[in-house]
Amino acid sequence: MIHPVILCGGSGTRLWPLSRKAYPKQFTPLFGRESLFQACLRRYLGDGFGAPVVLSHADFRFLAAEQISAVGLEKAAILLEPEARNTAPAILSAALYLAGQGKGDDLMLVAPSDHVIRDVPAFLTAVEAGTAAAEKGDLVAFGIRPDRAETGYGYLEVGSTDTATPKAMPVTRFIEKPDADRAEAMFAEGRFLWNAGIFLFKVDTLIAAFEALAPEMVPPCRLAVEKARDDLGFLRLDEEAFASAPEDSIDYAIMEKAAAVATVPVECGWSDLGAWDAVWREMSPDEQGVATSGAVTQIDCADVLLRSEDDGPRVVGVNLRDIAVIAMRDAVLVADMSDLQAVKTAVQTLKAEGADEAEILPRTYRPWGWYETLALGDRFQVKQIMVPPGKKLSLQSHVHRSEHWVVVQGTATVTIDDEVKLVTENQSVYIPLGAVHRLENPGKVDLHLIEVQTGSYTGEDDIIRYEDIYNRA
């Protein structure tokens, strides 16, 4: 049995402004309707795969659970990392969790959730080819046959240029991201594969590798799993124990030090979508190199990426060359296609300037749905709120503001102190300052309402919760 271990706790700042700390790229529908995370889950629904183990940050737990459910998975363990400690502690914690479930002799397939694999059958063939090596004790890293000289990826060196067949072969060494000249030379030589960051191990073999090569990481991760607590079906790793684990990647901690490391070469249309130029390639640009998405008009452009995201403004490109434009309602990125790795630096600059747009989207997602601010003044705020069927907000009150709710779609059950009423489309209700209230959707369609807040303070921290089905503090 192979247990998929899906990593989905990253922030993906290089795809700003679409991907932000509050809503990273793995949960966004970059291509089509499903997110990258959901596409990743679908790869491992077939025979031979067990229920996935998902490693996520606590902030994304309900989002991950909702997207898992939408794929049709009923059983998935969601382990919550208290903080980001890189991939090694996360993967070790997953291995220790599986061992504790009596799965020590099984295999675990570690996969980032924000990658694209176009040819899934080819990739699964490679997984099958790596199974025998992993079962006999090798640590298997999947290597992508390169189709260009790429400076944005690490490489695996093998001893043969015969990489056309997906078969396990020893890794000679790991190579950091090369400069352009070195990348060209390695591409021409044919013995170098892109390190996809996807791994296959026997559970007990990986734990033994940590005990031998990174022993300082084992006790805190073991304690984090042993002291993990159930929270509404999520498993929260112990915060104090996990925070004491060294911060390191699985490559540095284990793979580059281990003796028995193999790779399976594969050509499967893989991309880590590490920057907008990778997205441009995945969008299959036309003969002029133009790729567009959303409300876009282009005239006489070449080698450009033009995207208008989430009801963003219409993008009109005229006679553009080698430019990427990503437009959202609150921010627009305009960058040279040759320097898109610098987007990460731009985000860091925005954070230093105190710009909310660096990390926060206009639409804020909550376990019960989402809201977005439409207008904000000194003593008022106007929001749009969406609550899916069956969801409800916490029972709460406010110290500094009163609220008016106007239902514009669907039906709401509204609690105000001791009164419970049904509010339908084109009806409104008033919540006085200090009143204990709750909103829920009893219907079968999404509930949309406009909320008008008035008072001396309208911040999100002016909430006193008395009851919350999502167990938020």
Kindly report, residue by residue over 203-238, the tens digit of the pLDDT: 999 999 999 999 999 999 999 999 999 988 899 999
> Helix (H) and strand (E) counts for the chain?
11, 30
Phi, psi dihedrals of residue 252, rounded to the nearest 5°: -70, -40
Contacts for 295 with CB less than 8 Å, ≥ 6 apart: 308, 312, 313, 314, 315
Asked if 372 and 384 touch (Cβ cutoff 8 Å), the reply is: yes
pLDDT averaged over every residue in the chain? 94
Asked if 323 and 317 touch (Cβ cutoff 8 Å), the reply is: yes
Asked if 173 and 141 touch (Cβ cutoff 8 Å), the reply is: no
- Once rounded to an integer, what is the mean pLDDT over residues 372-390? 96
Q: Using the predicted structure, report yes or no on whether residue 164 has a pLDDT greater than 90.
A: no
- Once rounded to an integer, what is the mean pLDDT over residues 46-53? 92
Residue 160's pLDDT is 84
- Once rounded to an integer, what is the mean pLDDT over residues 189-197? 93
Nearest to 439 by CA among 416, 418, 460, 470: 416
Q: Using the predicted structure, report yes or no on whether residue 46 has a pLDDT greater than 90.
A: no
Q: Using the predicted structure, report yes or no on whether residue 12 has a pLDDT greater than 80.
A: no
Phi, psi dihedrals of residue 169, rounded to the nearest 5°: -145, 150
Tokens standing for residue 224: 């984090």
Tokens standing for residue 452: 């008008």
Query: How far is it between the farthest Cα atoms of the chain?
Result: 76
- Residue 414, beta-bridge partner list: 421, 439
Amino acid at 287: E
Q: Using the predicted structure, report yes or no on whether residue 11 has a pLDDT greater than 80.
A: no
Q: Using the predicted structure, report yes or no on whether residue 357 has a pLDDT greater than 80.
A: yes
Residue 183's pLDDT is 93
Contacts for 158 with CB less than 8 Å, ≥ 6 apart: 143, 169, 170, 171, 172, 191, 192, 193, 263, 265
% of the chain beyond a pLDDT of 70: 100
CA gap 410, 441 in Å, rounded: 8
Residue 58's pLDDT is 87
- Bridge pairing between strands 270-271 and 369-376: unpaired
Q: What is the pTM of this model?
A: 0.90
94 burial type by CB count under 10 A (0-12 exposed, 13-18 middle, 19+ buried): buried
Query: Which residue has tokens 């006999």?
Result: 136
CA gap 156, 258 in Å, rounded: 14
